[in-house]
Structures are given as C-alpha cells and as structure tokens.
Chains A and B, each alone.
Chain A
Amino acid sequence: MHNEHQITKSVYEAKSDSVKADDLISAYLPFIRSEAAKHMARNCTEQDDEYSIAMVAFYEAIMGYDKSRGAFLNYAAMLIKSRILDYNRKEARHKGIISIYSKEGDGEQTLADTLADSNDYFEQTVNRESVANEIKEFAVVLSEYGICFSDVADNCPKQSRSVERCKSAIHYAVKTPKVLDDLKRTKRVPLAEIVNGSGADRKTLERHRKYILAMLLIELNGYGAIRSCLHGLFEE
C-alpha cells in the first residue's frame, strides 16, 4: 500500500515535469523490459524496437494515469501490451519481405553491400551536424523566452484548420519587419498586430502562442538548416 502511494505521487509529479518523468522511466526500466518480453517470442534487449515501444507506452501511462481508476503499474502494463500488439500487427505486413541487411549465403556480406547506393553519406553527416548545432542554439534561444521544445510540441496545432490559421499568421509576421522588431524588443508575440494583419482568429493564435513564437524565432535568427527542413511551413 505504501509503495502504491509512492508510485502515485511520483507519477503525478512526472506529469508536469519532464525531468522527473525521465527519472521515473529510468527507475522502472526492468519493469518495462519484463512487460515487453511477455509479448515477444524472445528476451527483450535495448536494441529491440519493442523495447522502445514499451518505453513510450510507459510514458503515455504517466501522462494519462488517474489514481481513481486503479493501480498505475496495472495501467502501464495494459498500455505496454496494447502498444506492442499494435506494433507487431503493423510490422506483420513486412514479414515476407527480405531485409537488405540480411546476410547473403554463408558469408558476412549483406544484400545492401551488393546494391548500388547513390546516397552521399558524408554530406548527410555534415548536414546532420549542422542541423544539430542549430537545434542546440535554438534551444538556448527558446529558453531565453521561457519555453522549451516540449512546450512547443504541446502547443503545436493538431487540426488542419488550426494549422492553416497559424501558417497564415506566421507568413504575415515573416513579411512584416515591424512584427519581428516588436518581438525582438518586447520578447512577446504582438498578437494584436498579427490578428489585424492576417485576419486569423485571435483565440486560435492565443492557444498556439508558444508555437508561433518558436517559428518566428527560427525566422528571426536565420536557422537555415532548420528552416530548410520545415520548408512546408515557410513556403507559401
């Protein structure tokens, strides 16, 4: 009973703090592994995809747990099971397909070694490093405005209507230097001007303020690599 109270308390703390959520997940890794192994035909290792699926299911259990509905570990076990089953069902369609990384014959050579590959892995590596560096800087800039990537992910519009309204607001703000100057000066998004200028719904923009702020900061600071990846948003 005492353990149950302790777990419940930890879960409720992890709901609002991502660091505590990571700590809780790390503490219950053996539980997550054992639950994943129950639904696999073999032992579960960290390299298995099911292991990652089980961990994300555990995180979903933390965010969705309600203590009035029962014990947390039972709820987490149920979610892990359903997620792994869904994943296996999705992967079952690829059963008859041979992996290009499967070894050919008795040697160490794989099928991928025999195929011609036009990818420039060096360029890809350079690009990845530059993007990573920009992302790190971007995280620092966001922290100056009091937000983080988790806030942006939570604040991101999900419905297509909301996405379109935010997109039109961002396009207007990017084209209007006065908005970016006000943003840089006041460290706040000038929603009134954006609403008047773009014609978007103020309530929608209020709801997704942090997301709009992050996008405007990408434009303001010239993060080209990130901007190139988000070309669907910035292109009209």
Chain B
Amino acid sequence: MKYIVIECHPAYAIVSDENGRFIRVANFHYKVGDTVSNVVEMNMPADASPKKRKFGWIYAVAAACLILAMLPAFILPNVMYASVYMKINPEVRIDVNRKDIVVGLSGVNDDGIVLINGYSFKNKDVDTVVDELVIRAIDMEYLKDGGTVAISLDGDDDEWVNNTGGKIDQKLCDKLSDKMSVNVEVKNKKNDQSVKHHGGSGNNGDMHKDEHEDPDDDDDDDDYLDLDYDQSNLVTPDESSKPQKPNGGENSGFGGQYGKPESPECMNPDCDDEDCDGCGGWDEPPREHPECMNPDCDDEDCDGCDDWDDWHEAPHKDQRCMNPNCYDPECKGCDPEQYPSDFSGEQPSGPSGNGYGAHNYEYPRQPNSHIHDEESETELQHPHPNPPVEAPIPQQ
C-alpha cells in the first residue's frame, strides 16, 4: 500500500492511501507530496471524537428504573437478620439472613482474620459454615482436644436463637464426635444465657454425661461403681464404728451396738435404695480383722477368739450342747460335771452307755457365759442360771 503525504506536523503527518483513507501517522521526516509505503499509524483514543446521541437520557432513565425495580430481589436476600459469634481462640462473626444463609463473614480478632482467609461462605447455611470453620481451626491447630467452641447468637427473636443454637450445637457435636473431644457452649449473646451445653465425647460418640454407663442397663449398681461418682464427700468410717444389726440393741447377736458409718451413703452393695443413708441390717458387719469372728473382740492382732470361734464352728444344729468336743448333731447337752473328760476330748462312759453320757440336759445356751481364760488355761464356768437336772441313776 502506498501513501501520499498530505500534511506534516512536528509529531505526526496526515497521509492518504490508495483507497482514499486519510490517517495520521508518525512523521519520519516526511514532506508534503512524498509517497511512502511503510507507515506507523497513530492510535487515536475513542474519547478524541465523542459521539453525541440524541435522547440518550431516556435510555439512562429507563435503565435506572429497571434497576430500582429489581433491587429488592438482589438486596433483600443479603440483608443481615442476625449474627452468630464463634470463638475458639480465633473469633469470627457470621451474619445470616432470615433463612439462615450466611451473608457476611468477618474476623473479630487477628486469628479470626487468619482463620477465614480464603474461605468462601457464599450460598452456605450457618451450621455448615460453623462446621467448616471449626474443621479449619482444627487443621490450623487453633482447636485441640479438650478445647472449647463458644457460640453466641445475637438476634432479636429468642425463638430463632433457641432453634438455630440447637441446630448448630447438634450438627457440630455430630461432626466432632469421631474427631476429638471438645466442649461446645451455645449462648444467647443478649442475656448470656446458655442455650445448650454439651461435652463432646470421644470415639464412641456417646453424648451422655456418664460415658461409661450402658443406657440399657437399669441396674443402679453401676452408679455405685460410677467413676464419675463424686466420692470426695465420702468419709472413711472409724475403726470403732461398725454397721448395726437389723434388730439393734445391746443384746444383739453382735454383742453391741455399732456406730453408724459417718458417711451418709450406704456401703451395702446389695442395697437398692438410692436414698439409703446406710443399711443397719447388713448381715455381715465390717470386720477389721478377717480372722477373728468375735464382734466384741477389740484386739487387732487377734487371730480368732477360741471359744467364740469354736462355738460358732460347732456343728450342733440346735446349738444346745456346750461341749466343744461333742460333735453329736442331736446332742441335747453334755453334762460338764459328769463328763468332764468330754470337755477334754475323752469319751466318757455314762449311764446311757453311750459315749456321750446323758444328753437329756436341757439348759439354755448361754454362749457368752462361756469365757476362756487364756492365761490360767483353766476353764471358768459361770454358774448356770438354770442348773441342769440330774439324771436318775439307774439302780443295780
């Protein structure tokens, strides 16, 4: 293409090509009338020749009216209705609309800003955003095992606060049940009242307060063995205090009245009464010393009171014969005077011809009346309150 130079200026030249186009080009020392071939065309900006349009203002007004008419459809969904504050250590504020869709997200502190950096909340509901931010916090090591996630809801409608708080709490707990154990606190920001508070559990996902309790187990024995059971109030009973026999009294089989344990709780493993302060009818009194069965014995080193033990070990059914060497279960009572050897273990010979002599004594047993003196090695016998009836001696 050849160009003819029409006009020259310091910075540019006007040339015309063969098709009649008049253009501005860089002036490479051209002169008017020169015929050139390679030119550098100047780029004229569009603002250099503005085109005025008639009635253009009508289009502008129509566009403005259209935008105003459609504005609510775009703006109302993004109008903030309430706010949810989530605090781990980083604290963030989550703004939601009426449908609980997140419309704004901002960091309250520096860590919060770092936490939400690069996170998109568009078209997500509030519980999803809370879950995802908590997961981000775990990944960024802001939230660790045993930590706390505090959720505060700021809204005018208390019903919304309760519903949304519960929804967030439930979903968050379900999300974290397999990951780690954290505390989730949900509060109403206005009155600082708790909406819900659960302690997150570990791997089993059990949200009950007692994590060792089997929900199908109705036996309250587990409560007694509950490790969460606060035993700090329990007081170890004194050595001198022992549980009461059912009948109680000084002449009880246990010889005395044992003091009630100082602990208000019942230590009887078989007791089903939750309100029981202590079973008095516990069959087996607590024994300080497992060897001595004599409840009246205060000797800690006692290996067992002989007479008392022997007496209890006596195989007498009716417990009427006081002869410790007598093993006749049907013996009604050996005469200690007549058959003293019986008491020493020898077989007496008596009127009955049997080895036990007369066993037709009848005298009430007085277990406590038989006292063994260890020092003198003698048997002391208290006079029986009811002396035995002598058996008639058969005449030869």
Chain A interface: which of B40-48, B112-120, B312-320?
B40-48
Are B7 and A66 neighbours in the complex by a CB distance under 8 Å?
A: no
B26 within 8 A of A: yes
Closest chain A CB from B83 CB (angstroms): 39
Q: Return chain B residues, CB-CB under 8 Å to A18.
A: 9
Are A55 and B34 neighbours in the complex by a CB distance under 8 Å?
A: no
Closest A residue to B9 by beta carbon equals: A22
A163 within 8 A of B: yes
Q: Given A56-B27, A156-B23, A163-B19, are A63 and B45 neighbors across the interface (CB < 8 Å)?
A: yes
Are B28 and A15 neighbours in the complex by a CB distance under 8 Å?
A: no
* A234 to B233 Cα, complex, angstroms: 116
Q: Return chain A residues, CB-CB under 8 Å to B7.
A: 135, 139, 149-150
B269 within 8 A of A: no
Are B48 and A135 neighbours in the complex by a CB distance under 8 Å?
A: no
Most central of B20, B21, B27 by chain A CB within 10 Å? B20
Are A153 and B14 neighbours in the complex by a CB distance under 8 Å?
A: yes
Chain B interface: which of A1-9, A103-111, A126-134, A188-196?
A126-134
Q: Given A58-B11, A232-B20, are A131 and B26 neighbors across the interface (CB < 8 Å)?
A: no
Closest B residue to A62 by beta carbon equals: B11
Q: Given A22-B11, A56-B12, A63-B48, are A132 and B18 neighbors across the interface (CB < 8 Å)?
A: no
Q: Return chain A residues, CB-CB under 8 Å to B32.
A: 132, 135-136
Q: Return chain A residues, CB-CB under 8 Å to B31.
A: 128, 132
Are B11 and A25 neighbours in the complex by a CB distance under 8 Å?
A: yes
Q: Identify which of residues 61-95 in chain A touch chain B, using a CB-to-CB cut-off of 8 Å.
A: 63-64, 66, 87
* A191 to B31 Cα, complex, angstroms: 35
Dominant secondary structure at the B interface: loop
Chain B interface: which of A36-44, A177-185, A223-231?
A223-231
Are B11 and A232 neighbours in the complex by a CB distance under 8 Å?
A: no
Are A232 and B18 neighbours in the complex by a CB distance under 8 Å?
A: yes
Q: Return chain A residues, CB-CB under 8 Å to B16.
A: 226, 229-230
Closest chain A CB from B11 CB (angstroms): 4
Are A60 and B43 neighbours in the complex by a CB distance under 8 Å?
A: yes
Are A64 and B28 neighbours in the complex by a CB distance under 8 Å?
A: no
Q: Return chain A residues, CB-CB under 8 Å to B44.
A: 60, 63-64
A152 within 8 A of B: yes
* A15 to B48 Cα, complex, angstroms: 8
A200 within 8 A of B: no
B82 within 8 A of A: no
A217 within 8 A of B: no
Dominant secondary structure at the A interface: helix
A204 within 8 A of B: no
Closest B residue to A226 by beta carbon equals: B4
Q: Return chain B residues, CB-CB under 8 Å to A135.
A: 6-7, 32-33
* A234 to B19 Cα, complex, angstroms: 8
Are B22 and A211 neighbours in the complex by a CB distance under 8 Å?
A: yes
Are A153 and B10 neighbours in the complex by a CB distance under 8 Å?
A: no
Are B14 and A149 neighbours in the complex by a CB distance under 8 Å?
A: yes
Are B23 and A59 neighbours in the complex by a CB distance under 8 Å?
A: no
Closest chain B CB from A128 CB (angstroms): 4
Are A55 and B11 neighbours in the complex by a CB distance under 8 Å?
A: yes
Partner of A154, one of B45, B47, B49: B49
A141 within 8 A of B: no
* A149 to B19 Cα, complex, angstroms: 16
* A178 to B269 Cα, complex, angstroms: 130
What string of 1s and 0s marks CB contacts (under 8 Å) between A4-48 and chain B?
A: 000000000001001001100110000000000000000000010
Closest chain A CB from B297 CB (angstroms): 108
Are A230 and B6 neighbours in the complex by a CB distance under 8 Å?
A: no
* A46 to B93 Cα, complex, angstroms: 65
Closest chain A CB from B16 CB (angstroms): 6
Q: Return chain A residues, CB-CB under 8 Å to B12.
A: 55-56, 59
What string of 1s and 0s marks CB contacts (under 8 Å) between B328-367 and chain A?
A: 0000000000000000000000000000000000000000
Are A49 and B10 neighbours in the complex by a CB distance under 8 Å?
A: no
Closest B residue to A59 by beta carbon equals: B11
A174 within 8 A of B: no
Are B26 and A156 neighbours in the complex by a CB distance under 8 Å?
A: no
Q: Identify which of residues 41-90 in chain B touch chain A, using a CB-to-CB cut-off of 8 Å.
A: 42-45, 47-49
Closest chain B CB from A119 CB (angstroms): 11
* A150 to B28 Cα, complex, angstroms: 18
Closest chain A CB from B17 CB (angstroms): 8
Closest chain B CB from A77 CB (angstroms): 16
Q: Given A230-B18, A232-B18, are A53 and B42 neighbors across the interface (CB < 8 Å)?
A: no
8 residue pairs, one from A and one from B, having the closest CB atoms: A233-B20, A64-B45, A132-B33, A232-B18, A55-B11, A232-B19, A131-B33, A56-B26
Can you offer 30 A-B residue contacts whose CB atoms are under 8 A? A18-B9, A21-B11, A22-B9, A47-B29, A49-B28, A52-B28, A53-B26, A53-B40, A55-B27, A56-B11, A56-B12, A56-B24, A56-B26, A63-B47, A64-B44, A64-B45, A64-B47, A66-B47, A87-B40, A135-B6, A136-B32, A139-B7, A149-B6, A150-B7, A153-B23, A156-B23, A229-B4, A230-B20, A231-B18, A232-B17
Interfacial residues, chain B to chain A (CB-CB below 8 A): 2, 4, 6-7, 9-12, 14, 16-29, 31-35, 40, 42-45, 47-49
**Known pairs A22-B9, A135-B7. 20 more at Cβ < 8 A?**
A21-B11, A26-B10, A52-B26, A52-B27, A52-B29, A55-B10, A56-B26, A56-B27, A63-B47, A63-B48, A128-B34, A129-B33, A133-B33, A152-B14, A167-B20, A230-B4, A230-B19, A232-B18, A233-B19, A233-B20
